[in-house]
C-alpha cells in the first residue's frame, strides 16, 4: 500500500507518538517506583521525598527477608494450585457452556442464556453467597476458591461469540462423520480457538492470581493462604496493632518499607512473566470476542 | 464420568444441608443437656464424664481429642511461624495439658470479617478468641444467639484455678460476668494496675534539650514546643500520629486535656456522657484547628498510618507523637539511633489547661481489657476438655508458661525472679525481642491468662520506656473509665444502629472542623444533628447498663 | 392447545439434543448452585436472620430492613455518591480505552505499538491492594503528585483528604489501571475492520478524520454499544474493595457508597439481614438500569444484549 501522507497526518503522527510515550511513562512509573524502592536502602528511602528515579543505595536485604518468611513459599504453592486447577476447570466449563450457547436449533438455549445473563446483574449478595459456600462444604479448603468461581459470565459470552464466528461447515462435516459433541468441542473447535483460549487463560489467571477477598474470608488455616492474602497481611501490618492494643503490641523493629515493596515485586512478577508468552495470541484472540451477545 | 461426579457433588450438597439442619438443632440441645448433666453431677459428687473425679484430676489429660481454636495470630508470631501451633509455646501448652489443638487464624486485618461470617454459618470452632464484648449486642446476646455457652457450671465444675483467682479478686469477677450473671469467657486479665496504662504522648527529648525547653505539660506549652520544633528544628509536621488507628484517635491526650473524650466516658456526676457533643470538645477542635492551620499538626492527618508516622518520627519531620512505649517509642528510638546517636524520646504527661493541675482524664484500660478472651462455642463437643485446657492457664504452671515460657529454655529462676534467658533477649537468629518473646510466651500480648508485670519490667529496656507507664498513669483516669458494661439484648440492636450513624458523622465532622473545611460556628448544628440521631436514647441505654453493672 | 404444544416441542427437543443438554448440565448446575442458590438465600433480607435458626427458620420481618435503610440519614448520600461515582467513571473511564485503541491503531511502527500495548497493560496485573497503597503514598503532601503540582507553581495539599478531589483520584487511578487492558477489545474490533472500506473511503478523498468518523467508528460501534450496556447494567455495583482501601472519615461525604456501607454493616457489625437487604436494593436498581438502556439501545441503534 502506497499512501501519500499529508502534512496534517505527519504532524498528527508525531503528536501521537509523543502522547503514547507519555502514557507509557505514566503507566510505567509507579511500577518502576516499586521496583526501585524495593532494592533501595531502607533508611535512605524513608528520608527521601520527591520523585524517585534510581535506587537509593543498593540492598537485597529486603528480598532476603521476604524469602525467609515461611508463609511466602507456602503462599506460592497454594496460589499455584488454585491457578492451575482453577484455570483448567474454568476453561473446560466455560468452553462447554459456550459451545452449548453457540449451537443452533436448540430450543431451550434462549431461556438458559437469559438465566445466565441475569446473574451478571443480579446477585444474592455477600452473606447468602457465603452461606451457600458453607452449605456445600467449600469453606476452609482451596477448592472453595476454585469451584464456586469456575464460570465467569462475561468470559462465557466472549467465548460463545468466538465459537459462533467459526465456520459452521466444519462442525456440520464432523457431525455427518458421526462425531459427538465432546469430540467436536475438544478436537475441532478448541484447536481452532487457541487464540481466544489464550485470552481466557489470561483473564482467569489474572483474576485468580490477584484475588484475595474470598480467600481471606473463607480460609482459616494459615497453611492454605494464597499469596495475595499474605501480601495483604504484610502490607497491612499497620493496622494489626489496633487489635492487640497492648503495651507492646507490635514489632520492636519496624517493618521496613522496602520489605513491603519487595513483597509486592515478589507477588507480582510471576504473573507479569506469563503475559509475554500469551501476548502473541492476544489481539487475534479478543478479535473474535468483539462481543455481540 | 462428568455425570457421575455431578451426582456425587449433589449428593454431598444434600448431605451437607441435611447435616447442617441436624447440627444446629443438636447444637442447641447439646448445650442445655450439658448444663443439665453439670447440675446432676454436682448433686452426685464430682464425677465427670471422663470418669475421673475432680480431686484426682491432674495434668496432662489423657485424651486423643483434637480441639479447634480460632483467633488472630499476633504479628510478632507470623513472621517466623505460619501457625501458633508451631511455636515452642503452643507445643509446651499442648504437652503440659495433654490436649491437641488445631489453631485456625484469620488473615491479619480480616479478623472481624471472618468472625462475622463464621458466626453467620453457625458451625463454629470449639474455642474462639475474640474481644467478646464487641459481639454485636454484647456477650449475653452471644449466649442467647446460641453461639457460645454460659460458663457458670463449667467454671464451678472444671475450673478450680480460675475460680480461685476470681474469689480472690471480686472486682474482676464482677467485670467478666454479664448483667444476668453469666460467665462467658476465659478472660485476659492485666495482673497489675501498671499494665493498664499503655498509651500516651512522646516527644523528642534531645530537641527539647537543644531548645532549652521542658517537657510540655499544658496545652500552651505544647503550642510553644511544637512551634519551636517547626521553626528551629525544621520539622515539617511537628506533631504526627496514626490517625487511622482507632485506639490512638480515641485516646487522644489533647482531647482529654479539655476534660472530655471523643466517645462515652464516666462523668464526675456518676453518669455516662458522650464527650463529642460537649463544649470541651469544641475547645479541643478549636485548638487542633488552629494548630493544623499553623502547620503544627501533620497535614496528611486523616490518612496517616504506621509507615508514614514511623518514617517521620525517625527522620526528623515530626517531633511528637502518640503511641505505646514498646511498639512505638522503643522501636523509633532503636531505629533512629542507628543514624543519630543523640536521638531520644521521652514520655510526656497527659496535658492540662492550667500548669500544675493533675490531669483529670487519660487513657486507662480496665483490668479486664476485653481482648484475648476465649469462649467455648456451642459447637464444642468436649466442653470439659476445653475448659480444663483453658483453666490450666490460670494455674501456677500455666501462669509461668504464658508469661515466661519454658523454664530452662526461655527463662530461669534467679532469686525467685523469672528472668528471660539470652536465647530470648538476644535471639541467635537475630529476631527482634518482641518476636523472640512471642515464640515462647503470650505475656507480651494477650490470651486467656493473667498477665504478669514482671514480663514488662524486662521487656522495656530503655530508661524512658521504663518510666513511661508512671508518667502516663499519673491521672485520675480510673474514675472516668466506664467498666465493662453491656446493653441487654433488646437494646443492643438499637444502640448499635444509633451509634453507627453518630460515629460516622462525628468522625467526618471532627476532621472537617480540624481542617477548617467547616467553621466552628457550626458546632451547635453539629450537636443538634447528633442529638437528632438518637443520642439521648443511646445515653439512656448506656446509663441503664451502668446501673445494672453496679447492681451486679 | 398452546401449552401442550410447547411441552411437546420441549420434549421433542430434549430427545433430539439429548447429548447436548447432558454436556451442558455441569454448567447449568454450577449456575444453580453458585448463582441462584445465593439468590434464594437473599430472602434473609426479609427476615431477621439468626444462624442457629437457619435461612428457613428465621422469623419474617417483611420490609423492615428496607424501610430502615430508606429512613437512614445516610440513604440519600449513599445513593448519590454511588450514582455520581459510577456516572463519572462512565463518562471519563468509558471513552478512555476507545481513544487509546484509536491512537494505537494509527501507529505504523509495529514494534512501538507492541511496546505501548505491553506497557499499558502492565497496571492491570497489579493487585488492588498494591495500587491503593501507592495512591495513598503518592497523594500525600510529600508525595510525587504534590511535587509535580509545586513544580507547576501550585501549592502542596493533602489530596486524599479533600472530599472534592476524591472522585477524581478514584477515577483517574481506575483509568490508569484499566485503560490499556480495556483497549484490547477495541483494538481487536479495529483490526477486524475491512481494509477495503478504508480504500474505498480514500478513493473518495476522505482524510484521516473523515475515515475515523465514517469508517472506523461505525465499524466498531456494535462493540462499543455492547460494552456500554454492560457498563450501565453494573453502574450500581461498584465494588467496595477499592473504596474501603481509599476512603477515610474526611472523605466520607463523597466516598462512602452503598457497597462499602453494605460491607461495614454486614461484615463489621454483623447485621446480616440488613446488609443483604441493601445489597438486594442495589441489585434491583442495576437490573432496572440495564433493562432501560437495553431497550433504548435496541430502539436507537438496533444493538442490544438480548
- Please write the tens of the pLDDT for every residue from C143-159: 788 888 888 888 888 88
For range C215-243, the mean pLDDT: 81
Give the integer Cα–Cα distance in Å for B543 and B264: 10
C276 touches chain A (CB under 8 A): yes
With a pLDDT cut of 70, the percent of chain C lying above it is 97
Decide if B128 contacts B143 (C-beta within 8 A). Answer: no
Contact partners of B by the rule of 3+ C-beta pairs under 8 A?
A, C
Give the integer Cα–Cα distance in Å for B79 and A176: 63
> Chain C: residue nearest A281 by CA?
C188
Query: Is the confidence at residue C306, as pLDDT, over 70?
Result: no
| C-alpha distances in Å from residue B263, one per residue of A20, A235, B278, B514 | 53, 29, 11, 17
Place of cell 455441569: C26
| Per-chain mean pLDDT for chain B | 86
- Determine, for residues A290 and C19 on separate chains, whether the beta-carbon distance falls below 8 Å: no
Contact partners of C by the rule of 3+ C-beta pairs under 8 A?
A, B
3-state class (DSSP) for residue C127: coil
pLDDT score for A236: 67
Cβ under 8 Å to C: A residues 181-210:
181-182, 185, 206, 209-210
Selecting from B116, B122, B508 the residue whose C-beta is nearest the C-beta of C250 gives B508
C219 touches chain A (CB under 8 A): no
Q: Where are the domains of chain B?
A: 12-189+375-451, 198-363+463-550
Tell me which residues of chain C have a C-beta less than 8 Å from any C-beta of chain B. Answer: 22-23, 25-26, 29, 33, 49-54, 68, 72-74, 136, 139-142, 156-158, 160-161, 163, 248-253, 256, 264-272
Cβ under 8 Å to C: B residues 311-370:
none
Selecting from B12, B81, B327 the residue whose C-beta is nearest the C-beta of A248 gives B327
Q: What is the separation, in whole angstroms, between the first and last Cα of chain A? A: 35
Give the integer Cα–Cα distance in Å for B114 and C41: 19
Query: Is the confidence at residue B380, as pLDDT, over 90?
Result: yes
| Per-chain mean pLDDT for chain C | 86
- Determine, for residues A222 and B73 on separate chains, whether the beta-carbon distance falls below 8 Å: yes
B146 touches chain C (CB under 8 A): yes
3-state class (DSSP) for residue B148: strand
| C-alpha distances in Å from residue A148, one per residue of A136, A209, A222, B441 | 10, 16, 21, 40
Which residue did the predictor score with more confidence, B397 or A274?
B397
pLDDT score for B258: 95
Q: What is the separation, in whole angstroms, between the first and last Cα of chain B? A: 65
Selecting from C22, C160, C270 the residue whose C-beta is nearest the C-beta of B116 gives C270
pLDDT score for B397: 94
> Chain A: residue nearest B9 by CA?
A136
Give the integer Cα–Cα distance in Å for B292 and C157: 12
Decide if B348 contacts B341 (C-beta within 8 A). Answer: no
In eight-state DSSP terms, residue C32 is I
Chain B contact probe: residue of A180, A248, A263 with most B CBs at under 10 A: A248
For range A235-261, the mean pLDDT: 47
Q: Contacts of residue C115 in chain A, CB cutoff 8 Å?
A: 24
Q: Output the nine-digit C-alpha cell for B95.
A: 504437652
C9 touches chain A (CB under 8 A): yes
Give the integer Cα–Cα distance in Å for A152 and A120: 9
Q: What is the pLDDT of residues B178-206, one digit of tens each?
A: 888 899 999 999 998 888 988 999 999 99
Q: Is B198-363+463-550 a CATH 3.30.160.150 domain?
A: no
For range A123-143, the mean pLDDT: 90
Distance between B53 CA and the closest CA of chain A, angstroms: 36
What is the side-by-side strand order in the sheet with B66-70?
B100-104, B66-70, B127-129, B374-376
Query: Is the confidence at residue B47, as pLDDT, over 80?
Result: no
Chain C contact probe: residue of B302, B377, B501, B513 with most C CBs at under 10 A: B302
Q: Where are the domains of chain A?
A: 70-288
Selecting from C100, C120, C147 the residue whose C-beta is nearest the C-beta of A50 gives C147
DSSP string, B76-140: TTTTT-SSGGGSHHHHHHHHHHT-EEEEE-PPTT-HHHHHHHHHHH----SEEES-GGGSTTHHH
C187 touches chain A (CB under 8 A): yes
Burial of C231-240, coded b for 16+ CB within 10 Å and e otherwise, reads: ebbbbbbbeb
pLDDT score for A47: 64
A131 touches chain C (CB under 8 A): yes
For range A2-9, the mean pLDDT: 67
Which of A101-115, B365-379, C25-39, C286-300 shows the lowest mean pLDDT across its residues?
C286-300
Longest CA–CA span in chain B (Å) reads 84
Q: Which domains does chain C have, with CATH numbers?
A: 6-46 (no CATH), 75-301 (1.10.3720.10)
- Determine, for residues A181 and C107 on separate chains, whether the beta-carbon distance falls below 8 Å: no
Fold of the B12-189+375-451 domain: D-Maltodextrin-Binding Protein; domain 2 (3.40.190)
The H or E element spanning position B346 is strand B345-348
Beta carbons within 10 angstroms of residue C41's beta carbon = 21
> Chain B: residue nearest C72 by CA?
B501
* Fold match, B12-189+375-451 / B198-363+463-550: yes
Query: Is the confidence at residue B42, as pLDDT, over 90?
Result: no
Q: Contacts of residue C283 in chain A, CB cutoff 8 Å?
A: 121-123, 125
Q: Is A70-288 a CATH 3.40.50.300 domain?
A: no
Pairing of strands B100-104, B66-70: parallel
For range C262-266, the mean pLDDT: 82
Decide if B474 contacts B418 (C-beta within 8 A). Answer: no
For range B145-159, the mean pLDDT: 93
pLDDT score for A284: 61
Amino acid at each position: 500500500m502506497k499512501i501519500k501522507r499529508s502534512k496534517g497526518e505527519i504532524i498528527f503522527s508525531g503528536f501521537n507518538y509523543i502522547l503514547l510515550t507519555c502514557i507509557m511513562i505514566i503507566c510505567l512509573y509507579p511500577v518502576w517506583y516499586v521496583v526501585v524502592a524495593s532494592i533501595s536502602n531502607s533508611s535512605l528511602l524513608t528520608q527521601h521525598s520527591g520523585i524517585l528515579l534510581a535506587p537509593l543505595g543498593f540492598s537485597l536485604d529486603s528480598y532476603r527477608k521476604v524469602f525467609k518468611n515461611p508463609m511466602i513459599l507456602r503462599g506460592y504453592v497454594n496460589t499455584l494450585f488454585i491457578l492451575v486447577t482453577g484455570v483448567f476447570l474454568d476453561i473446560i466449563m466455560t468452553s462447554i457452556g459456550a459451545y452449548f450457547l453457540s449451537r443452533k436449533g436448540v430450543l431451550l438455549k434462549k431461556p438458559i442464556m437469559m438465566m445466565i445473563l441475569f446473574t451478571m446483574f443480579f446477585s444474592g449478595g455477600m452473606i447468602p453467597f457465603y452461606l451457600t459456600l458453607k452449605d456445600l462444604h467449600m469453606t476452609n479448603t482451596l477448592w472453595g476458591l476454585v469451584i464456586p468461581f469456575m464460570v465467569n459470565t462475561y468470559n462465557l459470552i466472549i467465548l460463545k461469540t468466538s465459537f459462533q464466528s467459526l465456520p459452521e461447515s466444519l462442525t456440520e462435516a464432523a457431525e455427518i462423520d458421526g462425531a459427538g459433541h465432546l469430540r467436536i468441542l475438544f478436537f475441532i473447535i478448541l484447536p481452532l480457538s487457541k487464540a481466544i483460549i489464550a485470552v481466557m487463560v489470561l483473564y482467569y489467571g489474572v483474576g485468580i492470581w490477584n484475588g484475595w477477598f474470598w480467600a481471606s474470608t473463607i480460609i482459616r488455616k494459615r497453611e492454605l493462604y494464597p499469596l495475595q492474602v499474605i501480601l495483604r497481611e504484610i502490607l497491612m501490618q499497620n493496622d494489626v496493632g489496633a487489635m492487640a492494643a497492648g503495651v507492646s503490641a507490635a514489632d520492636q523493629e519496624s517493618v521496613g518499607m522496602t520489605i513491603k515493596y519487595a513483597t509486592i515485586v515478589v507477588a507480582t512478577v510471576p504473573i507479569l512473566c506469563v503475559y509475554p508468552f500469551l501476548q502473541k495470541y492476544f489481539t487475534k484472540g479478543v478479535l473474535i470476542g468483539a462481543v455481540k451477545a | 464420568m462428568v455425570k457421575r461426579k455431578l451426582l456425587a457433588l449433589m449428593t454431598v450438597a444434600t448431605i451437607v444441608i441435611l447435616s447442617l439442619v441436624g447440627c444446629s438443632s443438636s447444637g442447641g440441645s447439646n448445650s442445655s443437656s450439658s448444663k443439665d448433666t453439670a447440675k446432676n453431677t454436682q448433686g452426685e459428687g464430682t464425677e465427670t464424664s471422663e470418669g475421673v473425679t475432680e480431686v484426682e484430676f491432674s495434668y496432662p489429660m489423657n485424651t486423643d481429642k483434637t480441639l479447634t481454636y480460632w483467633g488472630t495470630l499476633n504479628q510478632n508470631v507470623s513472621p517466623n511461624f505460619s501457625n501458633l501451633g508451631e511455636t515452642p509455646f503452643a507445643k509446651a501448652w499442648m504437652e503440659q495439658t495433654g490436649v491437641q489443638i488445631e489453631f485456625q487464624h484469620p488473615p491479619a486485618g480480616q479478623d472481624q470479617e471472618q468472625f462475622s461470617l463464621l458466626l453467620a454459618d453457625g458451625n463454629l470452632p470449639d474455642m474462639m478468641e475474640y474481644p467478646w464484648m464487641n459481639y454485636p449486642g454484647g456477650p449475653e446476646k452471644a449466649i442467647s444467639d446460641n453461639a457460645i455457652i454460659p460458663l457458670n457450671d463449667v467454671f464451678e465444675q472444671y475450673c478450680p484455678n480460675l475460680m480461685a483467682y476470681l474469689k480472690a479478686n471480686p472486682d474482676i469477677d464482677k467485670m467478666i460476668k454479664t448483667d444476668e450473671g453469666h460467665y462467658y469467657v476465659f478472660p485476659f486479665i492485666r495482673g497489675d494496675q501498671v499494665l493498664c496504662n499503655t498509651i500516651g504522648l512522646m516527644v523528642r527529648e534531645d530537641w527539647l534539650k537543644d531548645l532549652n525547653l521542658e517537657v510540655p505539660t499544658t496545652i500552651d506549652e505544647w503550642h510553644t514546643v511544637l512551634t519551636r520544633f517547626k521553626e528551629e528544628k525544621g520539622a515539617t509536621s511537628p506533631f504526627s500520629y496514626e490517625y487511622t488507628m482507632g485506639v490512638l484517635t480515641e485516646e487522644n491526650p489533647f482531647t482529654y486535656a479539655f476534660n472530655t473524650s471523643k466517645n462515652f466516658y464516666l462523668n464526675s456526676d456518676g453518669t455516662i456522657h458522650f464527650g463529642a457533643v460537649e463544649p470541651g470538645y469544641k475547645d479541643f477542635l478549636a485548638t487542633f484547628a488552629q494548630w493544623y492551620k499553623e502547620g503544627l499538626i501533620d497535614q496528611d492527618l486523616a490518612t496517616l498510618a504506621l509507615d508514614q508516622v514511623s518514617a517521620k518520627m525517625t527522620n526528623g519531620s515530626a517531633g511528637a507523637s502518640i503511641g505505646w512505649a514498646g511498639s512505638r517509642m522503643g522501636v523509633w528510638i532503636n531505629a533512629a539511633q542507628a543514624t543519630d546517636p543523640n536521638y531520644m524520646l521521652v514520655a510526656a504527661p497527659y496535658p492540662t489547661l492550667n500548669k500544675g493541675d493533675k490531669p483529670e482524664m487519660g487513657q486507662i484500660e480496665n483490668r479486664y481489657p476485653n481482648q484475648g478472651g476465649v469462649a467455648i462455642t456451642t459447637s464444642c463437643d468436649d466442653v470439659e476438655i476445653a475448659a480444663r485446657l483453658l483453666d490450666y492457664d490460670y494455674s501456677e504452671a500455666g501462669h509461668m508458661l504464658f508469661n515466661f515460657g519454658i523454664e530452662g529454655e526461655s527463662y530461669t529462676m534467679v532469686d525467685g525472679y523469672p528472668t528471660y534467658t539470652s536465647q530470648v533477649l538476644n535471639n541467635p537468629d537475630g529476631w527482634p525481642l518482641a518476636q523472640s518473646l512471642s515464640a515462647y510466651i503470650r505475656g507480651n500480648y494477650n490470651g486467656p491468662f493473667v498477665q504478669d508485670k514482671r514480663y514488662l519490667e524486662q521487656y522495656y529496656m530503655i530508661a524512658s520506656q521504663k518510666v513511661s507507664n508512671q508518667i502516663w498513669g499519673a491521672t485520675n483516669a480510673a474514675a472516668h473509665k466506664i467498666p465493662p458494661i453491656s446493653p441487654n439484648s433488646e437494646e443492643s440492636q438499637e444502640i448499635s444502629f444509633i451509634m453507627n450513624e453518630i460515629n460516622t458523622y462525628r468522625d467526618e465532622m471532627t476532621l472537617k472542623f480540624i481542617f477548617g473545611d467547616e467553621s466552628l460556628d457550626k458546632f451547635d448544628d453539629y450537636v443538634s444533628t447528633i442529638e437528632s440521631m438518637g443520642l439521648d436514647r443511646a445515653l439512656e441505654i448506656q446509663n441503664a447498663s451502668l446501673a445494672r453493672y453496679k447492681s451486679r | 392447545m398452546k401449552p401442550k404444544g410447547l411441552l411437546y416441542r420441549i420434549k421433542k427437543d430434549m430427545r433430539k439434543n439429548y447429548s447436548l443438554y447432558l454436556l451442558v448440565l455441569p454448567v447449568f448446575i454450577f449456575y444453580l448452585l453458585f448463582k441462584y442458590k445465593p439468590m434464594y438465600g437473599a430472602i434473609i433480607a426479609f427476615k431477621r436472620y439468626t444462624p442457629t435458626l437457619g435461612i428457613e427458620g428465621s422469623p419474617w420481618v417483611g420490609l423492615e430492613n428496607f424501610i430502615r435503610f430508606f429512613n437512614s440519614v445516610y440513604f440519600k448520600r449513599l445513593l448519590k455518591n454511588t450514582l455520581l461515582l459510577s456516572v463519572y467513571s462512565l463518562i471519563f473511564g468509558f471513552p478512555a480505552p476507545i481513544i487509546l485503541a484509536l491512537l494505537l491503531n494509527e501507529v505504523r511502527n509495529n514494534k512501538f505499538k507492541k511496546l505501548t500495548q505491553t506497557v499499558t497493560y502492565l497496571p492491570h496485573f497489579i493487585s488492588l491492594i498494591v495500587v491503593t497503597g501507592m495512591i495513598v503514598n503518592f497523594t500525600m503532601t510529600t508525595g510525587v503528585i504534590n511535587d509535580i503540582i509545586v513544580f507547576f507553581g501550585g501549592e502542596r495539599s493533602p489530596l486524599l483528604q479533600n472530599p472534592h478531589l476524591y472522585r477524581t483520584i478514584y477515577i483517574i487511578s481506575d483509568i490508569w489501571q484499566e485503560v490499556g487492558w480495556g483497549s484490547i477489545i477495541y483494538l481487536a474490533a479495529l483490526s477486524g475492520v475491512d481494509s477495503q472500506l478504508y480504500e474505498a473511503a480514500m478513493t473518495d478523498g476522505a482524510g484521516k478524520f473523515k475515515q475515523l468518523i465514517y469508517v472506523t467508528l461505525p465499524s466498531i460501534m456494535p462493540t462499543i454499544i455492547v460494552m456500554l450496556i454492560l457498563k450501565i447494567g453494573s453502574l450500581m455495583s461498584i465494588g467496595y474493595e477499592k473504596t474501603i482501601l481509599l476512603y477515610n472519615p474526611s472523605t466520607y461525604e463523597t466516598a462512602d457508597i452503598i457497597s462499602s456501607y453494605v460491607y461495614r454493616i454486614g461484615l463489621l457489625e454483623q447485621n446480616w439481614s440488613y446488609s443483604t437487604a441493601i445489597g438486594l436494593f442495589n441489585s434491583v436498581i442495576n437490573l432496572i438500569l440495564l433493562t432501560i438502556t437495553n431497550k433504548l439501545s435496541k430502539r436507537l441503534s438496533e444493538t442490544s444484549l438480548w
